[in-house]
Amino acid sequence: MNNNSSFRDLKVWRDAMTLVEDVYRVSARFPAIERFGLTSQIRRAAVSIPSNIGEGKRRKRQRAFLHHLDIALGSQGELEVQLELARRLGFTATKDIERVMNRAAEVGRMLNGLIESLQPDQTEQMCRPITSHGGLTASDYGQGTTDYRLPATNKLTPST
């Protein structure tokens, strides 16, 4: 992924923005008594998704971007629960809620895919020799000369 690209270039961000528009339209038909209840809550959850994608993309480190994508994914899950609640309570037409729920699910799948594509391979990270960090060896850390690596079994064993 190009780090110089804008969050606006991300399809998941664009789809999340469309999701927010859909949520605002659907929640506008909720009962007036819900203005400070579910209407407010569902809108905040929806807005949080593209907001966290944008904030994370502007960060300088991929780890921070992943953190914000994870928050966006949590907000997407929260939104799905709230949409289901609105459907069960009959706040608006079932077909309208289901359309928004489908879009929310698609945004969730896209977020999951993006997160997975950006995460470093955990096995590869754990199996690197200590010397990969600036040429230091285990003895530089006061641990003798044995170079410890983590094999696929995830148990520390001395390499030969």
Half-sphere exposure of residue 68, counting CA atoms within 13 Å on the CB side? 19
CB atoms within 10 A of CB 16: 30
* pLDDT on residue 122: 60
Q: In 3D, which of 123, 125, 5 has the Cα closest to residue 65?
A: 5
pLDDT in tens, the chain (160 residues): 445 688 999 999 999 999 999 999 999 999 999 999 999 999 999 999 999 999 999 988 999 999 999 999 999 999 999 999 999 999 999 999 999 999 999 999 999 999 999 987 665 555 555 444 455 444 444 544 444 444 555 555 555 5
**Helices (H), ranges, 6-93:** 11-27, 38-58, 62-88
- The residue ranges of every structural domain in the chain are 7-119, 124-158
CATH number of 7-119: 1.20.1440.60
* pLDDT on residue 127: 53
